[in-house]
Amino acid sequence: MFCCARAEKALAQYPLAHPVGYGELVARLERQERELYAIRRQLDAQMENRAAYGVSQTPGCGCDEPVWRLPAVAEVPPDPSCASPAGGDAHVLHYQVVYDRGFVLRPLDPRKHPFELKVNGRIQFRHAGFDRDVESWTDNAGVTEEVRSRNNFDIERARLVFSGYALSPRSTYYMQLDGDTDDGEVVEFLDYWWAWEFSEPFQVQVGKRKVPAVRQWVLSSRNTRLVDRPMANDFFRPDRTTGIFLVGDLGEAVHYEMMAGNGYSTANLPLSQVGNQFTFAATSYWDPLGEYGRLLIDYDATDRPLLRIGHSAVFSAQDDAELGVPTGEADFLRLTDGTILIDTGALAPGVTVSEFDIFFYGVDLAAKWGGFSINAEIFLRWLEDIRGDGALPLDALFQKGFYVEGGTFVVARKLDVNVRYSQVSGLFGDSSEYAAGFNWFPLDSDRLKFTFDVTLLDGSPLDNTSSDILVGDDGTLYRAQLQAEF
């Protein structure tokens, strides 16, 4: 009856140029009602899925009406040479490209199209000059090496990162490419892992990444206080390895990471050079006063004190089937005078160490407030069950070290000054590092900064081109670096 009344009213108001039967008009109206009902149901379903279509308030318009982000429809002009309907074909765009601390290819509806890609990049362009105070150094095996003064430009880190999710928003991936001029200018796959998020605060990662131990090692090299990490940090830290990693949070204040992997330092080693014992590592930190953030310095001049307390532990057994034939994995470990432990004669003339166990433990602390910041870490490392292809004067060693560094902004969000002291000590010698420098942020962002520092080295057991501190260095190191990232 409702359709009949509408049909009579329509015929009275708008007489048809080509009259049709009353029954046909009623049928048309009923068909249109069904189509409108189907369209209304589709719109209602879209309105219910607010998360997928990104409801947000229109900024600065002074109204409370939400803005809905809907899939765009683009008209593709037909190719005259192809048989296509007049007016072109309509294609729904399921993805958008935005900048969100990186360029992001993001789906408009993650449930229907669960694929996302984020691209980040950064570069560290550096000048390093070293003025030596000694001409040579002699290791514990009696080998004498020249200590060279240096003066060079370097691209220390040129990195490209791809991250996101695939197949499901819970199935995430991360891949980082790295190139630098002091490593043969070869681009390598620095990190690459896949993860499954079992819950919002817990995921399992499989692949290659940093061994989770030593706080400044776990933090990104882009967030260091001076040009690079402290000498003691790099002497004790592990490297990257391949394995299984558990990453999660306990509440809002505690973060933890655990690992079972191939080794303490197996980055870029073939499996033939890796021992047959797994390495186990864990780290955690607690932010009791609120989220500390990724920066050591207080760039945002926090209006209340922030504190981070953490610790790390690693166990790694280095062994091989044949005494006196160490694996390539074991050559990272040095005595506190800089001698490589597995070098022939390092502990006894003519004897090569090939097996030992590493127990590492570290404690770290960081605080910042109102532009001022300070952080420190203590390192303890026990080398146990040391064995080689001959008699050794000892079967255990203990090494220790620490660093403390701090700074403050003298111009808010523009210029901060920093100082550092670090030390490595043990049975075979002690070494120290004294450093001071500044960071200048020319833009209103921490994504572009210029850093300059001066470091006095009283010996060095470390050999690390990334920090420009080489084994045996005794003198003054000058570094200037421009870092840019997107």
| CA 265 to centroid of chain Cα atoms | 18
If one counts every other C-beta atom within 10 angstroms of the C-beta of residue 430, the result is 15
* Residues 396 and 390 sit within 8 Å (Cβ to Cβ): no
Angle 121-124-126 from CA coordinates, rounded to 5°: 165
Element spanning 231, H or E: helix 231-236
Residues 6+ apart with CB under 8 A from 133: 474, 475, 476
| pTM score | 0.81
* Residues 239 and 332 sit within 8 Å (Cβ to Cβ): yes
**Spatial separation of the C-alpha atoms in residues 6 and 28, rounded to whole Å:** 12
pLDDT in the model for residue 278: 95
- Here the tokens at position 206 are 């499989």
**Spatial separation of the C-alpha atoms in residues 137 and 471, rounded to whole Å:** 9
- Here the tokens at position 63 are 């109204």
Q: Which residue has the tokens 């990232």?
A: 485
Mean pLDDT, consecutive 10-residue stretches, the chain (486 aa), reads 51 55 79 86 69 46 52 50 49 86 93 95 97 96 95 95 96 96 84 95 96 96 96 97 97 96 90 88 98 96 97 91 69 94 95 95 98 98 95 97 98 97 97 98 96 98 95 98 97
If one counts every other C-beta atom within 10 angstroms of the C-beta of residue 330, the result is 25
Strands (E), 167-236: 168-179, 188-199, 202-210
3-state secondary structure of 369: strand
pLDDT in the model for residue 481: 98
Q: How many CA atoms are closer than 13 Å to the CA of 259, on its beta-carbon side?
A: 33
pLDDT in the model for residue 92: 72
* Residues 305 and 290 sit within 8 Å (Cβ to Cβ): no
pLDDT in the model for residue 485: 96
Pairing relationship of beta strands 240-250 and 254-261 according to DSSP bridges: antiparallel
**Spatial separation of the C-alpha atoms in residues 321 and 315, rounded to whole Å:** 20
pLDDT in the model for residue 320: 66
pLDDT in the model for residue 29: 83
The phi-psi region of residue 475 (left if phi > 0; otherwise alpha if psi is between -120 and 50; otherwise beta) is: left
**Spatial separation of the C-alpha atoms in residues 84 and 22, rounded to whole Å:** 37
* Residues 172 and 165 sit within 8 Å (Cβ to Cβ): yes
pLDDT in the model for residue 20: 61
From the list 273, 296, 265, the residue with the least C-alpha distance to 360 is 265
Strands (E), 89-235: 89-93, 95-99, 103-107, 115-132, 136-138, 144-146, 150-166, 168-179, 188-199, 202-210
* Residues 173 and 208 sit within 8 Å (Cβ to Cβ): no
Topology of the domain covering 97-485: Porin (2.40.160)
**Spatial separation of the C-alpha atoms in residues 418 and 296, rounded to whole Å:** 11
Amino acid at 423: Q
**Spatial separation of the C-alpha atoms in residues 221 and 125, rounded to whole Å:** 13
Pairing relationship of beta strands 415-426 and 397-411 according to DSSP bridges: antiparallel
**Spatial separation of the C-alpha atoms in residues 118 and 97, rounded to whole Å:** 10
pLDDT in the model for residue 200: 84
3-state secondary structure of 256: strand
The total number of residues shown for the chain amounts to 486
pLDDT digits (tens, 9 = 90+) for 334-373: 999 999 999 999 999 999 998 999 999 999 999 999 999 9
* Residues 288 and 300 sit within 8 Å (Cβ to Cβ): no
**Spatial separation of the C-alpha atoms in residues 92 and 477, rounded to whole Å:** 58
Q: So where are the chain's domains?
A: 97-485
Residue 223 carries which DSSP code?
Answer: G
Angle 262-266-269 from CA coordinates, rounded to 5°: 110
- Here the tokens at position 233 are 């940090």
* HEC sequence for 2-24: HHHHHHHHHHHHCCCCCCCCHHH
pLDDT in the model for residue 56: 43
pLDDT in the model for residue 451: 98
Amino acid at 301: A
Element spanning 22, H or E: helix 22-48
Amino acid at 205: Q
**Spatial separation of the C-alpha atoms in residues 376 and 422, rounded to whole Å:** 9
pLDDT in the model for residue 137: 95
